[in-house]
Amino acid sequence: MSDLAKMQAAAAALEFVEDGMLIGLGTGSTANHFIRMLGDRVAEGLNVGGLPTSEASRRLAQQVGVPLIEIDQADRIDLTIDGADEIDPDFRLLKGGGGALLREKIIAHASDVMIVIADDSKTVTTLGKFPLPVEVTPFGFTITAKKVFDVLRAAGCAGTDVAMREAGAPGRPYLTDNGNYILDCQCGAIPDADLVCQELNRIPGVMENGIFPLFASTTRGLILGSEDGVVIKGLG
């Protein structure tokens, strides 16, 4: 996705922001464009509160002047703007390439509306070509990884390789903002994403996984950006 396409999608998402809203702030390069643009609108007088999905998004929002609130001060969120690594035809998502999947899912699930900003390269027929992240507790993570493998194999995924995400030196685990590890699962294709999501989250030690099914209380829309403009889906 070119930087211009990212900016087009972010600018279109900004049009859905209204004065007084509580806004979930996504994580990643496209979400960063949105946060910067939101900061410009705040400087012009827009009154909103931001709820970041990662420490990186928190730092950026603070730099550009977006007022923030703590998660324990909110019981619902008006609108969340975030990206995705994959999007299927029903708007199910695969997320977590940036390591923020747990906080992203908590905030998305509490939102009245979630707008996903992406480009056509992120749309797929079946989720799973992008590695599926699974956030797990450090304690017993090798046992948890074996159980994750078993779930993926039983679900008929095209691939079942499971590897701990590393940071820096080989063997050094990547740590999420929550102090957990991430298992990256090379699924290839996930035949039943809703089932895999449910079964993974039943494993003790799994905090959350990167499959975002549809949430009953959240309207999910999509803004696909390109250098020529945007296509908006699912938002009326």
Element (H, E) at 4: helix 3-14
Residue range 3-124+214-233 forms a domain whose CATH class is alpha beta
In this structure, what token pair is assigned to residue 193? 């994403």
Residue range 132-210 forms a domain whose CATH class is alpha beta
pLDDT per residue as tens digits for the range 76-93: 999 999 999 999 999 999
Low-confidence ranges of the chain (pLDDT < 70): 1
- Whether residue 61 contacts residue 116, with contact meaning beta carbons closer than 8 Å, is answered with no
pLDDT per residue as tens digits for the range 139-172: 999 999 999 999 999 999 988 899 999 998 888 9
Task: Determine the residue type at 201.
Answer: N
Tell me the pairing of strands 86-87 and 93-94. antiparallel
Which sequence spans correspond to the domains of the chain? 3-124+214-233, 132-210
- Whether residue 108 contacts residue 218, with contact meaning beta carbons closer than 8 Å, is answered with yes
pLDDT computed for residue 120 by the predictor? 81
Best CA proximity match to 142, nearest among 227, 205, 196: 205
pLDDT computed for residue 121 by the predictor? 87
Residues with Cβ within 8 Å of residue 198, at least 6 apart in sequence: none
Residues with Cβ within 8 Å of residue 63, at least 6 apart in sequence: 39
Task: Determine the residue type at 205.
Answer: G
In this structure, what token pair is assigned to residue 34? 């949105």
Chain position carrying tokens 């390069």: 29
What radius of gyration, in Å, describes the C-alpha atoms of the chain? Answer: 17
pLDDT computed for residue 32 by the predictor? 95
End-to-end CA distance of the chain: 25
Separation CA 17–CA 48 (nearest Å):
9
pTM of the model: 0.94
Same fold: 3-124+214-233 with 132-210: no
Residues taking part in catalysis:
104
Best CA proximity match to 17, nearest among 119, 111, 118, 122: 111
| Local structure of 109: helix, strand or coil | helix
